[in-house]
């Protein structure tokens, strides 16, 4: 049966609802779970998950945005703090308290996978309230190829400033679209100057099949991961492929007080 998009926000279900989506809703990707890791600690913007964004906490806005894509059977917020869990549940969402000692969102995702069974797990960071169907749909489509175990996103780099910025993670792929390497350095290096004609930045949204996610948690960190501080390099080091989908650059998430001010203007 073809998927039909309805102009309906499935997140607006009332303050005490336990249902994120109508009973009649059918995800185009059966048994898929979007997990929104939401950590209370943030050095650049303390308590940002609870920051007000147009009358609702940031984490609730992100949960709503994930639901509104209508791509997933279930959307769950995984958090390390009861205050975040409370605001999500008050908004009608589903949440889970997870270990506060996790080093990454993927580790938190793996804890959820140990308790909630699904075929496909998608990690959408809690500070991404502007995530859209247009961004996530190409990621989900990667998994129509049964050989794909892990997927992620990238977008074109069009400026030298972006290319040379170590805060912008670059990715180089092979002819299949599988990542060869991720780096904070400008790769591929333009020996003749300028920027290469094909250069991409990584967008930190991941999707895993269940077996790949469980394997990730058992892999030892690699030297490249520790040098670059990029967890995805652990997978490449141990021989796992990461299939990349290229999308238009999404609107930036919220990392700083300035980002929050900009985002609030959207909801004014």
Q: What is the pLDDT of residues 200-219, one digit of tens each?
A: 999 989 999 999 999 998 99
Mean pLDDT of 151-172: 95
| Degrees to nearest 5, angle at CA 137 with 159 and 208 | 95
- Residue ranges of domains in the chain, CATH in brackets: 25-131+254-268 (3.90.550.10), 133-249 (3.90.550.10)
Q: Which residue has the higher pLDDT, 233 or 27?
A: 233
Could you give the C-alpha distances from 229 to 134, 168, 182, 222, in angstroms and in order? 29, 12, 10, 10
Percentage of the chain beyond pLDDT 70 is 91
Q: What is the pLDDT of residues 88-130, one digit of tens each?
A: 999 999 999 999 988 787 888 999 999 999 999 999 999 999 9
Mean pLDDT of 30-49: 90
14 has pLDDT over 50 = no
Mean pLDDT of 167-191: 96
Task: State residue 172's pLDDT score.
Answer: 98
Mean pLDDT of 53-82: 96
Task: State residue 25's pLDDT score.
Answer: 61
Mean pLDDT of 165-176: 95
Tokens representing residue 252 in the block: 């930036």
- The Cβ of residue 189 has, within 10 Å, a number of other Cβ atoms equal to 8
Place of tokens 């250069």: 199
pTM, full prediction: 0.86
Cα distance between residue 105 and residue 150, in whole Å: 15
């Amino acid at each position: 049966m073809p998927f039909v998009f309805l102009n309906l926000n499935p997140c607006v279900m009332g303050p005490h609802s336990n249902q994120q989506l109508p009973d009649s809703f059918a995800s185009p990707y059966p048994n898929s779970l979007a997990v929104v890791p939401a950590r209370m600690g943030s050095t650049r913007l303390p308590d940002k998950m609870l920051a007000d964004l147009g009358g609702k906490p940031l984490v609730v806005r992100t949960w709503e945005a994930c639901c509104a894509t209508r791509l997933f059977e279930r959307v769950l917020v995984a958090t390390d703090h009861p205050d975040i869990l409370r605001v999500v549940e008050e908004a009608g969402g589903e949440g889970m308290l997870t270990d506060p000692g996790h080093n990454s969102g993927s580790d938190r995702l793996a804890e959820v996978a140990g308790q909630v069974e699904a075929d496909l797990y998608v990690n959408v960071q809690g500070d991404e309230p502007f995530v859209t169907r247009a961004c996530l749909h190409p990621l989900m489509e990667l998994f129509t190829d049964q050989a794909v175990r892990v997927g992620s996103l990238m977008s074109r780099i069009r400026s030298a400033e972006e290319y040379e910025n170590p805060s912008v993670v670059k990715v180089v792929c092979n002819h299949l679209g599988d990542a060869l390497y991720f780096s904070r350095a400008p790769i591929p290096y333009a020996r003749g100057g300028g920027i290469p004609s094909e250069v991409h930045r990584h967008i930190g949204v991941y999707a895993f099949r269940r077996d790949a996610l469980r394997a990730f948690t058992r892999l030892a960190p690699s030297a490249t991961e520790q040098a670059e501080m990029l967890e995805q390099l652990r997978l490449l080091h141990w021989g796992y492929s990461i299939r990349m989908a290229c999308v238009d650059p999404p609107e930036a998430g919220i990392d700083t007080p300035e980002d929050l001010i900009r985002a609030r203007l959207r909801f004014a």
